Each structure stands twice: as C-alpha cells, then as structure tokens.
Amino acid sequence: MRVLVVGGAGYIGSVTVDQLVASGHAVTVIDSLVGGHTSALNPECEFTQGDIRDEAVLGRLFAAHTFDAVINYGGYIQAGESVQQPGRYFANNVAGAIDLLNAMVTYDVKRFVFSSSAAVYGEPESVPIAEDAPLRPVNPYGESKLMVERMLPWYESRFGLHSVSLRYFNAAGATEERGEDHRPETHLIPNVLQVPLGKSESLALYGTDYPTRDGTCVRDYIHVSDLAAAHLLALDYSEKGSGVFNLANGVGFTNREVIESARRVTDHPIPVSEGPRRPGDPAELVASNERARAELGWSIEFDELDAIVGSAWRWHQSHPDGYQD
Ligand SMILES: NC(=O)c1ccc[n+]([C@@H]2O[C@H](COP(=O)([O-])OP(=O)(O)OC[C@H]3O[C@@H](n4cnc5c(N)ncnc54)[C@H](O)[C@@H]3O)[C@@H](O)[C@H]2O)c1
C-alpha cells in the first residue's frame, strides 16, 4: 500500500512510519514540523515539509501519488493551551482535517485513520471508559477531535470514505530510535526523567488529595509501539468499514506509581515538589480496550509500567537533548 502519513515526523507518527516501512508499505509523510523533527523521519519514507491547510501543497502531493490510505496525526496537542487559544486549535485540528478529507474525496482515496483522543470523553462518569460513554469534552482540544470524528460518517455516507478513529489514552515510552520530544513537554514520564537526566532538580506533582489509592491522579499509559501497531490494524480494518476504538492499556497507574517506577528504572531518588490540583485534571482516566482487541485483533506487548518507563529512559539517555534539529 502507499500510505500518506500526516505528522509522520512527530512522536507517534514517526514510530508508525517505521512500522509501515518495516511491513513493506510505501510511505509519504507531510509534516509542517511545527511539532515534529526531521531526524525522527525514517530514511526510507518520502518527505514533504508543508501544512495540510496549504491547498497547493496538498494538491501537488495527491496529484503526484496514488494513495491507498491516509493516516492523520497532524494537529496541535496541548489541552491547556487550547483553552487559551481555541481558534488556533479549531483552525489546525478541524479545518486542517477538512482540507485533508476534501483532497481525499477529490483524488478518490477511501481509507482514513484518525488520531483522536481520550479528551473526547471529558470527565468520565465511571471507569473503565468504553467507547459508548458520554462524549463531553472539557477543552477545545477534545472538542476539535470530537468535531472531526463527527464529520467522518457524513463523508462515508456521501463518498464511501471509510474511517477509523483511534482514541488514545496516554502515549508513552520509546523505541531504540524514536522517542518523545515535545517542546514544551507536558507529559508526565518525559518530565519525570528530566530529573535523573540532570535537566531539572525535582518533579512538580499537582494534586495529592484526589480520591485515588494514593491521592494522585490515575492515568492509562500505552506504549507508543503498541499504539503504532494498532494503526496498521486500523488500515486493514478500513478496507471493509469504519469504526471508533479506544487505544488503552486498560490498567491505570497513579502519578506516584509512575515516579516510583522511574526511581526503580533509573536508580535515582527523583525529588518531588507537591502542589495543588490543576483545574480540569480528572481523578481517574482508564479505558476499556475490549473493542480494539475483539474487532481490530489488537494485543498489547508492553503491559508493565517499568517496561514502558525503561524504554523511555533508554531513549532519553541516548538523546539527552532530544532530537537535534
Ligand atoms: N501523545 C499523546 O499522548 C496523545 C494522546 C491522545 C491523542 N494524541 C494525538 O495523536 C496525534 C500525534 O500526537 P504526538 O504526541 O505524536 O504529537 P506530535 O506533536 O509529536 O506530532 C504531531 C505532528 O503533526 C505535525 N503537524 C501539526 N499540524 C500540522 C499541519 N497542519 N500540517 C502538517 N503537519 C502538522 C507536527 O509538526 C508534528 O510532527 C495528535 O493528533 C494528538 O492530538 C496524542
């Protein structure tokens, strides 16, 4: 298959591109590099630097190739920032997806895999969260993902465009070559590892009075290789139909458990400075992955927290300043 990967120079996209190339697919990446890194790109993929909202760039790309499928990782990713700058998030995450879908229609490409998010659920009424739980985003980032999800059935009914929306929980970990390098970094595991790397003195821990087993938030961490593998299964699935799937471990870990894991893996004390809760942080976000297992045939390789944190630690040790571009 020839697959167009939007955002293939980013964290999850770059690992997916590696798996697609290793499976024998031809891969074209378009990435604006607003959050990606050229050194994260697999050398065997074809790369265009550009924004999917640039009609001329997108038109040239689709005219020059016959794509069998498109995977869209492109977008802004910070929920907190989206509250301050909603227009920026809707412009990139929603309008960008519309431009992409319209190009797919023009060039008769019928298979689409979309990076959605746990953020479409907002504050869950109960855990584990299943796909039919209420969809009530609490920030423009989550709303932008839900708006795209809601457009997709209309493209299917009019144009026969099949889509698979994958709602990721907390992507984490690394492969030997690719790791997490967001600037700024808002995710817990890479921030914890800044301490043993000598880049920060302590970790700021927000909220120690949640109704959880140790008072800190519980999150569901899923290894980036397991996430990437689900995209290859979703591509197969999109040949016949459309669907929405949680990509989650199904097991939650508290912030303190993640810090303990990092202490074990790095053999460093990792001091913590405790602060108050941040607004909008739910106590517990853990999802059911039953549907993805049953319908996509997905299985999880990394179900141990230390294995996930250990893989991230190895990558950060070999890339102490992140990607060099
Ligand atoms: N990391 C997570 O835990 C997580 C969780 C849920 C959902 N997601 C979603 O998964 C996707 C990938 O996340 P990530 O952590 O790899 O983020 P990332 O920022 O590393 O990757 C996104 C990539 O998209 C590119 N991009 C952004 N806007 C673009 C545009 N208009 N045109 C072309 N390229 C553009 C960026 O340069 C970047 O390389 C995002 O859509 C994110 O919302 C991530």
User: In this structure, what CATH number is given to the domain that contains residue 154?
Assistant: 3.40.50.720
> CA separation (Å) from 233 to 61, 228, 315?
25, 9, 26
Atom 41, ligand 1: residue with shortest CA distance: 73
Whether 76 and 212 map to the same domain: the answer is no
Whether 89 and 162 map to the same domain: the answer is yes
pTM of structure: 0.97
Domain stops at, among 198, 231, 247: 247
Question: Counting every residue, how long is the chain?
Answer: 325
Q: Is 177 part of a structural domain of the chain?
A: no
Tokens of 191: 């921030």
Tell me the backbone φ, ψ of residue 200, rounded to 5 degrees: -145, 160
Tell me the backbone φ, ψ of residue 177, rounded to 5 degrees: -100, -25
Residue 61, CB-side half-sphere exposure with 13 Å CA sphere: 30
pLDDT in tens, 11-36: 999 999 999 999 999 999 999 999 99
Report whether residue 7 contacts ligand 1, using a CB cutoff of 6 Å: yes
Whether 80 and 100 map to the same domain: the answer is yes
Residue 234's pLDDT is: 98
Report whether residue 168 contacts ligand 1, using a CB cutoff of 6 Å: yes
Query: What spacing in Å lies between the alpha carbon of 214 and ligand 1's midpoint?
Result: 32
Query: What spacing in Å lies between the alpha carbon of 267 and ligand 1's midpoint?
Result: 32
Residue 279's pLDDT is: 82
Tokens of 229: 């593998």
Whether 93 and 66 map to the same domain: the answer is yes
Residue 294's pLDDT is: 98
Query: What spacing in Å lies between the alpha carbon of 137 and ligand 1's midpoint?
Result: 18
Residue 262, CB-side half-sphere exposure with 13 Å CA sphere: 28
Q: Is 180 part of a structural domain of the chain?
A: no
Q: Is 267 part of a structural domain of the chain?
A: yes
DSSP secondary structure letter of residue 278: P
> CA separation (Å) from 255 to 199, 204, 212, 217, 287?
20, 11, 10, 6, 17
Work out how many domains the chain is built from and give that number: 2
Tokens of 177: 């070559």
Q: Is 263 part of a structural domain of the chain?
A: yes
Q: Is 325 part of a structural domain of the chain?
A: no
Q: Is 146 part of a structural domain of the chain?
A: yes
Whether 145 and 293 map to the same domain: the answer is no
Local structure of 27: helix, strand or coil: strand
Contact 228, 301 (CB under 8 A): no
Report whether residue 36 contacts ligand 1, using a CB cutoff of 6 Å: yes
d(CA 53, CA 315): 33
Q: Is 178 part of a structural domain of the chain?
A: no
CATH number at residue 210: 3.90.25.10
> CA separation (Å) from 295 to 116, 242, 243, 244, 282?
18, 11, 9, 10, 29
Contact 258, 24 (CB under 8 A): no
Residue 188's pLDDT is: 94
**Type of residue found at 223:** H
Residue 280's pLDDT is: 79
> CA separation (Å) from 126 to 96, 177, 190, 277?
33, 37, 28, 20
Whether 255 and 125 map to the same domain: the answer is no
Whether 18 and 143 map to the same domain: the answer is yes
Query: What spacing in Å lies between the alpha carbon of 34 and ligand 1's midpoint?
Result: 9
Residue 185's pLDDT is: 87
Residue 278's pLDDT is: 87
Report whether residue 42 contacts ligand 1, using a CB cutoff of 6 Å: no
Report whether residue 171 contacts ligand 1, using a CB cutoff of 6 Å: yes
Report whether residue 35 contacts ligand 1, using a CB cutoff of 6 Å: yes
d(CA 321, CA 230): 29
Regions of the chain with pLDDT less than 70: none
pLDDT in tens, 103-152: 999 999 999 999 999 999 999 999 999 999 999 999 999 999 999 999 99
Report whether residue 139 contacts ligand 1, using a CB cutoff of 6 Å: no
Report whether residue 31 contacts ligand 1, using a CB cutoff of 6 Å: yes
Contacting residues for 83 by C-beta, under 8 A, at least 6 apart = 139, 140, 280
Whether 137 and 256 map to the same domain: the answer is no
Whether 115 and 68 map to the same domain: the answer is yes
Residue 325's pLDDT is: 81
CA angle, residues 180, 183, 184, in degrees to nearest 5: 110
- Which one of the listed residues 76, 141, 168, 237 is annotated catalytic? 141
Bridge partners (DSSP) listed for residue 112: 70, 163
Chain centroid offset of residue 216 CA: 23
Question: Long-range contacts for 238-241 (Cβ within 8 Å, ≥24 apart)?
Answer: 238/69, 238/111, 238/112, 238/113, 238/162, 238/163, 238/164, 239/111, 239/162, 240/162, 241/162
Whether 9 and 59 map to the same domain: the answer is yes
Whether 156 and 116 map to the same domain: the answer is yes
Atom 43, ligand 1: residue with shortest CA distance: 77
Identify whether 141 is a catalytic site residue.
yes
Residue 285 CB neighbour total at 10 angstroms: 23
Domain of 267, in residue numbers: 188-219+251-318
Residue 277's pLDDT is: 93
Whether 227 and 266 map to the same domain: the answer is no
d(CA 140, CA 159): 28
Task: Identify the residue whose tokens are 């949680």.
Answer: 246
Query: What spacing in Å lies between the alpha carbon of 213 and ligand 1's midpoint?
Result: 32
Q: Is 324 part of a structural domain of the chain?
A: no
Atom 7, ligand 1: residue with shortest CA distance: 117
Domain stops at, among 205, 230, 247: 247
Query: What spacing in Å lies between the alpha carbon of 11 and ligand 1's midpoint?
Result: 7
